[in-house]
Chains A and B, each alone.
Chain A
Amino acid sequence: MFRETSPNVWELPKTRRMRVRGLLYASRGLVEGLDEKVAQQLAGVASLPGIVGAAYAMPDAHWGYGFPIGGVAAFDPDEGGVVSAGGVGFDISCGVRTYRTGVQESDLGDRLEPLIQDLYLSVPAGVGSEGALRLSKKELDQVLVHGAQWAVREGFGESEELAFVEEHGRVRGADPTKVSDRARERQLGQVGTLGSGNHYLELQVVDRIFEAATAEAFGLAEGDLLVSIHCGSRGLGHQIGTDYLKVLGEAAPRHGLVFPDRELAAAPLRSVEGQDYLGAMRAAINCALANRQVVGHLVREAFGRRLPEARLSLIYDVSHNTCKEETHLVEGRPRRLFVHRKGATRAFGPGHPELPERYREAGQPVLVGGTMGTCSFVLAGTAEGEARAFASSCHGAGRQMSRMQAKRRWRGGALIEELASRGILIRAHSASGAAEEAPGAYKDVEEVARVAEEAGLSARVARLRPIACVKG
C-alpha cells in the first residue's frame, strides 16, 4: 500500500513485478477515501515494459480500466516501451474547453434562464442524440485528419482560436485507414454533440483569483462570466477503444507480453499493432477536437441570440484521455516519450514552446471541471510539474461514489430543485442521469485543486462558481 514520503506524495514501493515505483499525489484525506483498486492498477501500470520514471496517480485518482483514472505513465520506444489502449480508455480525448464571454455576471439581469434554455435546446445532448451535421465518410476522414482545423475551415469558429487548442487543434500522425468502418458509422451523426453521463456545458462566474498575474494573462477577473464545455470523441472514440482493446490483447502473446490485468492491453510502440493503434487513437483525438470546436460554435450562436454583447474568446482546450509523443527531461537528458494520461491533463510549465505566445510566461491553462454544484478551477502548469509527473495534473473532482450508490441517495428532480435554490439552474436531458452526477458523488474538488498546487503539479489561478448547467 501507499506510504507517505513527503507532504502530499505517497509512494507505492516497487515489488518484484513492478519495473518502477508508483507515486500518488494526494492529501491524507484523499488517500483515506481512495479505492483500493487504485494501488492495484498503478502496480499493473508500473509492470509495463519501457516505463520511465514512475507510474503516477493524480489527486483525483479513482478506479478505472487497466490504468486508474487519474493515471499518468510515459514509455520510451527505445527501451521496448508500449502504448496501451487501457491507458487511454474508451472516451478518447474527452476534455474541457472554456471561453471568456466578455460579460460580467452582474450584466446578466434576467437573461440567464433564456440563455441556458437556448443552450439546452440548441446543443444536441443526451442518450441517442444526433447533431445537425450529417457527414459523409469522406468528410469524416477529413475530420479525423484535420481535427478542429477542419471545423474552423467549415465555418465553425475563428482560426485565432486554434492557438488555444492543444496541438493547434490537430494532432499529427492520425491514420484514418486504421479506423474501422464501425467506428466511422458510430460517428456519422455525432459530430457536434455533447453526449451524456458526466459530459456537460456550464455557465460559470470567476469567484476567486489566486494568482493575479497569471489570471491577467489568462484574461480572467472576478465576476467574469465564462462558459465551459466537457465532451469527447463520441461514438468513434468508443469504438476505437473497443476495437483495439481486442487487437492489442490478442497480439500480446506474439510480443511476449503478459499483463496482470487484461485491460492494460498494450503493444510495443515499435510494432505494427502499436503503430496502428496510435494512428487510430490520434484520429479519435482529432475527432474530439473537432467536436468541441463545433459545440463551441453552437454555444457562440446561442450567446448571439440571448446575450448579443457577449464576445466568446477561447481560454484553452484540454484533452484528458490521450497518449502523446512529447519531449521530457529525464535526469537532465531530453527524451522522446509517449505519455499516457488517463483522466489527467497535460500541464506544460512556463516557457514551453508548445504554448501560445500569450501564455508563454504564465504556463498552460489547466481546466479542472467540478460538479454541477461545486466550483471548477483554472490552474496553470508549473516549472516543477515537469519533474513531478511529466507535466501532468488532475482533470476533475474524481468520483468517490458509484453511480448506483448516487442514484439510491438522490432523486434527480429534488436535486435539481435544491441546486436551483442555491442559484444554480440545471437543464438535464435525464433526471436519473443528473442524480448519478450529484455533487456529493464526487471528491471535494477544492481539496483536489489545493493538493495539485501543494504537490507542485500545477498552480491555482482562479475558482469558477457554476450558475447554470446543461447535463447530457
Chain B
Amino acid sequence: MSNSRKEKSVLQADLWFCLFFLALLAVFFIVAGGYKPVTRRAPLIVMIPLVAMLLWQLVLTVKNLRRVSIAHPKQSGLLKINPQANHRAFQIILWLVLLLGMIYVGGHLAGIAVFLFFFLRFVCHDPWRTALYVSAGSAAGLYVLFERLLMIPLYNGAIYEAVSAWWWS
C-alpha cells in the first residue's frame, strides 16, 4: 500500500471516528438535558470542549483528505484499499463475538476449549492434533489456575445453570 493510499484510508477512518463520536455525544447531550443542573454540569464541561475538538479534528481531516485527493484523484476509498486486512478484521470480530457466545452457553472452560479448537482448526488451518492439544491444554490450565489455585469459580455456562436449577429444586 503506497503511502498516499494508506494516508487516505487512515484519513477516511479518522473521519468516521469523529463523526461517530459526534453522533454519540449528540445522544449524550439529549439525555443530559433531562438531568438536574448539578448532575449534568461536569459532563457538559467535558462534552462541550470535546465536541469543539472533534469538530476541529474533522475540519483538519477533511482538509487533508482534499489535499490527498487532489494529488491522487484515482485512489479508491477506505474499504476497498486492503481487502485482506478487512477480511481479517471482520474475522476476528466475528470470532470474538462467537467466543462470548460459547462462554455464555458452555461456561468458561468448555466455551474456551471449543472456541480454541474450532478457531485453530478452521481459521488457522492447524492440524487436528495441535488444535486439540492447545484447546484442551488451555482449558486445563485455566481450570487449575482459577478453580484450584485461586479458588475463583468460573462461569459454568447457561446449560449448567439450567440443568442444576432443575436438579436442585
A and B part of one assembly: no
Which positions in B face A, CB cutoff 8 Å? none
Which positions in A face B, CB cutoff 8 Å? none
